[in-house]
Structure 1
Amino acid sequence: MKECEQNFDYINMEFEYVDNIPVAFCRPDKEKSNNSIAVWLPYLGGNKETGAKELQRLAAHGYFSVSIDPWLHNERKDEIRNLVFSDFKAYMWQILGITAMNAYRVVDWAADTFKLHDEVVAGGLSMGGDIAIALAGIDTRISRVGAVAASPDWNRPGMTDVMDSKKIIEQGNPTNFGKWLYNELNPMTNLATFHRPLQMHIELGKSDTHINPQWTIAFKQELCRDYPAVERNLEVVINEGYDHLSLVQSKGIIDRTIRFMTGEKQK
């Protein structure tokens, strides 16, 4: 394992490959460790280093904090946005599903390698939040999920371009593998996997037309209709005056999400 250069963003970060999955992690101080794992995942085009500050904050709260490069983001990172938005379902559904399974594997690695067998929490920004929610649907060790500008529904009817709210993105068709991943992992169509003691906190922007808050509201309604007891554990916050970019850039909203993940009382 190699420690990275000692600069402000990367202090105390280490790097590893787990089954060829690029991993970045921060260890908590021994006296502060709570024997638990926090997963933080980046937005589309980001990588394992993107959330360095969030990893450090989670480690400061006693968590072994870890991030990974999403699928395709290491080899083809310079072209990933163009690939995704030229054929959304063909690429994005695979990115979401494969990265969720990779994160599942990395949680196993962290738990076994560092003997961490208490709590697991997960979170992320935009696409990273989508993946964190999907991960919680398959990894029952996860007790809390904090997501910003994210959707629990891989179908995004009426989704617009991040930079142009009037431009609707044609989503195309998934690959056969992508469709299988959707069938197995898409939270909206796998509601039963969320019927357990799991707390979720999802921050959305009222003016966000790229990730429409209505998709998450529909998820909560469907989930609570089938499993009414879940309602008290799923908090959806709609932030007035925020679009997609301003939401993922909001230090206050990210801070609130980190506090939720760590169990700190909300201010």
Structure 2
Amino acid sequence: MKRFILVLILFLGLIGCNLDRNNNGNNGGNGNGNEQVDEIAPLFVNASNNELPKIRHKVGEEVDLLQNINVIDDVSEEVELAISNDGGYDNQNPGRYLITIEAKDEAGNTSYATRVIEVYYLTTVKYDALVINDAGIEYELNNSLAFESVSGSPRFRNTDIIQVMTKDFFLSELDRVKSSYNDNGGIPYLSSGVVVLLDSNMKVIQMRLAPNIEVDKDGNAVLATNWTNSKTSTGGGNFKGIVDVINSLNASYVVFAPNHGSNKAKNFLIQNLYYSEFDGTNLSIFNKDINLKNVNIKFEDDYEETIEMVEGEIIGSIIKSTMIYDGIPITTYYKNDKKPKKLLYFFHGFAGDKETGIMGRGETLAEMGFFVVAIDAYLHGERQPEFFKNLSYVEKQKEIVNIVMQTAKDAKHLYHKYFKHLDILDSTNIYAYGVSMGAAVTFYLATIMEELTTFASIVGSPSFVEFYEYKQQQYGWIKDEYYYTNLESYKAVDPLLNYHLLKDKNIYMGVGTQDTTVPLKYAKALKEKLPNSNIVYSEYNVAHTSTPDMLLESYNFIKNN
């Protein structure tokens, strides 16, 4: 019996061996049932959106750029870190650099993360400062533009800087602009900001900290009940009821800061007057740690401060800047790659503005090597006055050709006064890109500006006269003297009627076959009058909109001309 059992065991063992051989050592493709195939790349634990914490160091310092990186892998115990792209990093030259770091496991799986390296130098700067004890910050005194309405919001809210106004100036400015803020009880709306009232001895007599903390001259903090952080028809925000408080407390100065950007101005006031450890979120009536009786405030001319200075933006990044030239708000985009650029104007559509109307095209065109200038069209964006804002859409449309013409003239003026002198530009030829109404601007600008050689029109019209007649039929305007005066004046400057002025221009026209806002017949008529190869006319089966293919075709046209 024992012999039978032994034979059976040997027999079963042989069968098992044969089964393994028939498998050819292939168990699910692993070669071994216990072997794990590693197909997952390492993970950067301390990266947010694939960006590692920034490193900042003084010029000339030797720094390990791979420091403080936490990487894990599902299989490998050893993960190799290396810099795959140094972004032009040079520890001897101040600047911002973007490097790429790769993590590779033992199976060769690789993942990537970026890291910003800031190389700074020390410098001493002087400025007129608001000084609280020993800390100083730049401020603006009696800024007459601070309360100007920009799309319904006071202009100062778009800057991260402390505003200081004397009592009389503050009150007179509030009275001057009250009609611009009827939706907020006639006062500029300051949301989530800080307001500090000072007496003639520069002592705090009241503070308002959003959302609803109020502090009196003795430093007592309470939850405010007479003002809120919300906009209301009877007035809201930090300024609600402030006039009565200023008069009752006999304040001499009003100091205020908005909630904007990095909140440097707002945080400075809170950290030096209320809670020294304020980090932007932890504000309550219970964590006040500054005694106002020990606070000394003064204005100091030529205040000196030693700061860490980093020049420029990240190498290779798109730099976006906003400014106002001669009352015309503009936004510029360009790639920080040290290469010369070609100037390109971008013009937005009707009822849009330079920020919302560009829809990412500023960055795209900047990547292509252009210095992009987007401007608010006449009567649009920050240039929109109250009277125009209050008109109906139909009434506004009556001015569309006038808006087109004035915007083009503004662009020409800005070029000759400012942009043509920029060292970053390498050509006297300029480009333009317009959408809808903005496309009409490009057509007209090309007829009055010889430097404009190439432009793209997206669902736009080169016609003034016929297009204006079409709009009259569409909206049912009364054919009054104003209408006929406009119509007659357009004949001499209509780009379609004066098509000979466009024959040497490189023009791309993308149109929609279903477009009833700007029918394609006007662009088609121009192509028929100028069948030259330098003028491209492309139809797409869409209404008054663009398509990815239309945009790609327009970009390639601009780039190749």
Given the two structures, how large is their TM-score scaled by the length of structure 2? 0.39
| Higher relative contact order, chain-length normalized (CA < 8 Å, sep 6+) | 1
The DSSP-based 3-state class of the residue aligned with 2:411 is helix
Instruction: Out of 145-154 and 108-117, give the one that drifted further.
Output: 108-117
Q: Which amino acid aligns with 1:200?
A: I
Of 23, 26, 29, which aligns to 2:333? 26
Between the two proteins, the alignment pairs up a number of residues equal to: 241
Amino acid in the other structure paired with 2:536:
E
- Contact preservation (8 Å) 1:84, 1:92: no
Q: Identify, as 1 or 2, the structure richer in strand.
A: 2
Q: Report the residue type matching 2:343 in the other structure.
A: I
Counterpart residue number, 1:133? 443
1:259 equivalent in alignment to 2:559: no
Q: Which residue of 2 aligns with 1:243?
A: 543
1:174-195 alpha-carbon deviations (Å, 9 max, x no partner): 4857854x34532012222113
Please give the alpha-carbon distance, in whole angstroms, between the structure 1 residues aligned to 2:463 and 2:395: 20
Quote how far apart the aligned CAs of 1:204 are.
0.5
Residue 157 of structure 1 deviates from its aligned partner by 6.7
Please provide the CA RMSD for this pair: 3.2
Using a 3 Å threshold, how does the CA distance of structure 1 residues 26 and 214 change in structure 2: closer, same or farther? same
Mapped pair 1:234 → 2:543: no
Q: Which moved more, 1:112-121 or 1:131-140?
A: 112-121
Query: Residue 456 of structure 2 aligns to a residue in which SS?
Result: strand
| Preserved contact between residue 15 and residue 23 of structure 1 (Cα < 8 Å) | yes
Q: Structure 1 residues 116 and 183, CA, compared in 2 at 3 Å: closer, same or farther?
A: farther
- Aligned identity (percent) is 19
More deviation, 108-117/21-30: 108-117
CA distance in 2, matches of 1:72, 1:133: 19
Q: Given residue 48 of structure 1, which amino acid in structure 2 is its aligned partner?
A: K
Residues 1:194 and 2:502 are matched in the alignment: yes
- Report the CA distance between 1:243 and its aligned residue: 0.6
Partner Cα distance (1:205, 1:16) in 2:
34
User: What's the secondary structure of 1:188's corresponding residue?
Assistant: coil
Seen in structure 2, the aligned counterparts of structure 1 residues 145 and 211 have a Cα distance that, compared at 3 Å, is same
Unaligned runs of 5+ in 1: 162-166, 225-229
Shift of 1:202: 0.5
Which residue does 2:395 correspond to in 1? 86
1:39 aligns with 2:357: no
Instruction: State the distance in 2 between where 1:48 and 1:116 align.
Output: 22
Give the partner amino acid of 1:239: Y
Tell me by how many angstroms 1:14 deviates: 0.4
- In 2, Cα distance between the equivalents of 1:185 and 1:80? 27
Q: For 1:127, give the aligned amino acid.
A: M
Tell me: CA distance 1:15–1:46, structure 2 relative to 1, closer, same or farther (3 Å): same
Q: Aligned partner of 1:70: which letter?
A: A
CA distance in 1, matches of 2:354, 2:558: 19
Conserved? CA contact 1:125–1:148, under 8 Å: yes
Aligned in 2, Cα 1:87/1:12: closer, same or farther, shift over 3 Å? Answer: closer
The structure whose residues are more often helix, as a share, is 1
- Give the alignment of 1:76-225 within 5 angstroms: 76=384, 83=392, 85-86=394-395, 88-89=397-398, 91-108=399-416, 109-114=418-423, 116-118=425-427, 119-154=429-464, 155-156=466-467, 159=470, 168-171=474-477, 172=479, 173-174=482-483, 180=489, 182-196=490-504, 198-222=505-529, 224=530
Contact 1:138 1:185 in 2 (8 A): no
How far off is 1:169 after superposition?
2.3
C-alpha change, 1:178 and 1:60, in structure 2 (3 Å) is farther
